[in-house]
Chain A
Amino acid sequence: MTYPIEKIRADFPILNEKIRNKPLVYLDNAASCQKPQAVIDSIVKLYSHDYANVHRGVHTLSVRSTDYFEAAREKMKTFISAQSEKEIIFVRGATDAINLVAQTYGKANIHAGDEIIITAMEHHSNIVPWQMLCEEKGAILKVAPMNLAGELLMPEFEALLNSKTKLVSVVHMSNALGTINPVEKIIELAHARKIPVLLDGAQAIPHTPVDVQALDCDFYVFSGHKLYAPTGVGVLYGKQSLLEAMPPYQGGGDMIRTVTFEKSTYAGLPHKFEAGTPSIAEVIGLGAAIDYLNTIGMDKIAAYEAELLAYATQEALKIDGLKIIGEAKEKGAILSFTLGKIHPHDIGTMLDSLGIAIRAGHHCAMPVMDFYKVPATARASFAMYNTKAEIDVLILGIKNLIEMFG
């Protein structure tokens, strides 16, 4: 079956938008991607017909909202092939999920002198929560190095694993470079030493099928807004046995079984980690996004995006003076680049005047910028709805701005 690109584009109303009188070419998907009509409609329908607080009322609307909310959890379970819906914790996003693990699993299991391993290509959200924990506990953060292509150095990674290592937390796909890490191998090496592994899947999840049981990862985290769903919702997947053993994160309503002034007992999974009223509409929107993605198929999306990346890379390499930052063999649909002396912010503004949205900056990965000795890069990141014609617009824009800078 051919990839239904025309239909997909028609499903995303914002793609009809004109920016500075030019058709929008949206290539900032790694920062956040656009929403299909089905997701927008699910929220409108909820607020128009079905909305009330969840898990609380006996009245009809509360029951309806709770049903839709829990149906989204069920869809997510199937989407990432978790064993049980108890393993799907709804949080605010990838950042929130990592902080949750650091503050619960981390606080309970990581002590003075222990070590946590991350990689040289992490997003700040997979660095800072661990630094904070290490500072508090007197633990040590170890960083597995990468080569200039942006590939993790596996022998060096393996050499870091030792009896003091209490957690490995690595990015599945890098947002700054596009690198897809050999997570199966990482997990195998860590598990051989009984070390649990957290995967930051914020970038991987929209681009590739994810099966947490096949991966056998211990935690998997991501944000809804990069998966065609609303902001304010994300997922922490954790193996049930680990989640059961972890202390709760925040205290409040919804996460308790009984409360007296002397002592409270906590609710079971997943509610133990979902204190307070959740992002109801956003979770239901996330469920709608999954339904939508299932109508296309993640494998088809992955194959289509691989074609886009190959085309973009081939065309970019023809441009004199363009340097691609991140040339890993295994790569997702991200093209990070520099143009010699032309600063990425000038690139960003100039492309914007052509209706092209890219990201220019450090991509919340300052250590990666330091590694490549650049203050920033320009980054075009692709999604299921982008086309080769849009890449042509980007490439032509880049060629012209190089000429203008002279």
Chain B
Amino acid sequence: MFEDLRDLYQEVIFDHNRNPRNFHVMENYDRMVEGFNPLCGDRITLFLKLDDDLITDASFQGSGCAISTASVSLMTEIVKGKTEAEAEALFKTFHEMTTGKDENINFEAVGKLAVLAGVREYPARVKCATLAWHTLDAALKNEQQSISTE
């Protein structure tokens, strides 16, 4: 019945929604930022542990739609072990992929995150996918305790 939606709701997304990875409060975090999408009510709290400019651990709490939950779950997996600069570069590539500015998906650069490329056909849902990354960006810049995707 939902053939048209298979690009958006891939099995990986359902899997991460059902069993989000790194879904817990972190003790002794170095950074904690709340991300809020006022349009949808998606709300996440992101925790990071840093060793100099290396992200050594990432976890999250919160509630949101399948797209935003899968996005933040995938993100916490992928940024572990990356430097801040690498994570920021990935955010940029991810943003271009989800907003459709770059027609060709750079699979090598985005890896598993490619499953979220489908949102570009659903402009109303792009913010669900990017909320996680905006929150990460704020955590790395360490300027705000909370951000909102207005």
Residues of A within 8 A of B (CB): 20, 342-346, 349-350, 353-354, 360-362, 369, 375-376, 396-397, 400-401, 404-406
Cα–Cα, bound, A297→B4 (Å): 41
B1 touches A345 (CB 8 A): no
Q: Add 7 more A-B contacts to A20-B4, A346-B66 (CB < 8 A).
A: A343-B42, A345-B125, A346-B9, A346-B65, A375-B40, A400-B1, A405-B17
Cα–Cα, bound, A340→B8 (Å): 21
A345 touches B65 (CB 8 A): yes
A349 touches B8 (CB 8 A): yes
Cα–Cα, bound, A152→B20 (Å): 39
Q: In the complex where A345-B65, A375-B63 touch, is A350 in contact with B41 (Cβ < 8 A)?
A: no
B14 touches A343 (CB 8 A): no
A349 touches B64 (CB 8 A): no
Q: B42 — which chain A residues lie within 8 A by C-beta? A: 343, 345, 375
Can you list 28 A-B pairs with a CB-CB distance of less than 8 A?
A: A20-B4, A343-B40, A343-B63, A344-B65, A345-B42, A345-B67, A345-B125, A345-B128, A346-B9, A346-B66, A349-B124, A350-B2, A350-B5, A350-B9, A353-B4, A360-B40, A361-B39, A361-B41, A369-B41, A375-B40, A375-B63, A376-B41, A397-B1, A404-B1, A404-B2, A404-B9, A405-B14, A406-B18
Q: Does B107 contact A (CB under 8 A)?
A: no
Q: A362 — which chain B residues lie within 8 A by C-beta? A: 41
Q: B43 — which chain A residues lie within 8 A by C-beta? A: 375
| CB-contacts of B14-28 with A (<8 A) | 14, 17-18
Cα–Cα, bound, A405→B9 (Å): 9
Cα–Cα, bound, A360→B41 (Å): 10
Cα–Cα, bound, A404→B17 (Å): 13
Cα–Cα, bound, A161→B130 (Å): 48
Cα–Cα, bound, A369→B8 (Å): 27
Cα–Cα, bound, A397→B1 (Å): 8
Q: A349 — which chain B residues lie within 8 A by C-beta? A: 5, 8, 122, 124-125
Interface 0/1 of B63-93, CB less than 8 Å to A: 1111100000000000000000000000000
Among A342, A345, A353, A396, the residue within 8 A (CB) of B5 is: A353
Q: B65 — which chain A residues lie within 8 A by C-beta? A: 343-346
Q: A20 — which chain B residues lie within 8 A by C-beta? A: 4
Closest chain A CB from B1 CB (angstroms): 4
Top 10 A-B residue pairs of the complex, sorted by shortest distance between their CB atoms: A375-B41, A343-B65, A345-B65, A400-B1, A353-B4, A376-B41, A353-B5, A346-B66, A346-B65, A345-B40
Closest chain B CB from A399 CB (angstroms): 9
Cα–Cα, bound, A350→B41 (Å): 18
Interface of B is mostly: mixed
What interface size band does chain B fall in?
Answer: 20 to 34
Q: A376 — which chain B residues lie within 8 A by C-beta? A: 40-41
Nearest chain-A residue to B128 (Cβ)?
A345
Cα–Cα, bound, A401→B65 (Å): 14
Cα–Cα, bound, A361→B125 (Å): 13
Q: B41 — which chain A residues lie within 8 A by C-beta? A: 361-362, 369, 375-376
Select the residue from B2, B4, B125, B128 with max chain A CB neighbours within 10 A: B2
Q: In the complex where A349-B8, A404-B9 touch, is A343 in contact with B2 (Cβ < 8 A)?
A: no
Closest chain B CB from A7 CB (angstroms): 31
Cα–Cα, bound, A345→B124 (Å): 10
Cα–Cα, bound, A76→B67 (Å): 46
Cα–Cα, bound, A342→B62 (Å): 14
Nearest chain-A residue to B63 (Cβ)?
A375
Q: B122 — which chain A residues lie within 8 A by C-beta? A: 349
Cα–Cα, bound, A346→B2 (Å): 12
| CB-contacts of B89-143 with A (<8 A) | 122, 124-125, 128
B2 touches A353 (CB 8 A): yes
Q: A406 — which chain B residues lie within 8 A by C-beta? A: 14, 18
Closest chain A CB from B61 CB (angstroms): 14
Closest chain B CB from A360 CB (angstroms): 8
Nearest chain-A residue to B13 (Cβ)?
A346
Closest chain A CB from B44 CB (angstroms): 12
Nearest chain-A residue to B43 (Cβ)?
A375
Q: B17 — which chain A residues lie within 8 A by C-beta? A: 405
Q: B5 — which chain A residues lie within 8 A by C-beta? A: 349-350, 353
Cα–Cα, bound, A288→B5 (Å): 40
Nearest chain-A residue to B37 (Cβ)?
A345
Cα–Cα, bound, A346→B43 (Å): 15
Q: In the complex where A354-B1, A369-B41 touch, is A343 in contact with B9 (Cβ < 8 A)?
A: no
Q: B39 — which chain A residues lie within 8 A by C-beta? A: 361
B2 touches A400 (CB 8 A): yes
Q: A342 — which chain B residues lie within 8 A by C-beta? A: 66
Closest chain A CB from B81 CB (angstroms): 30
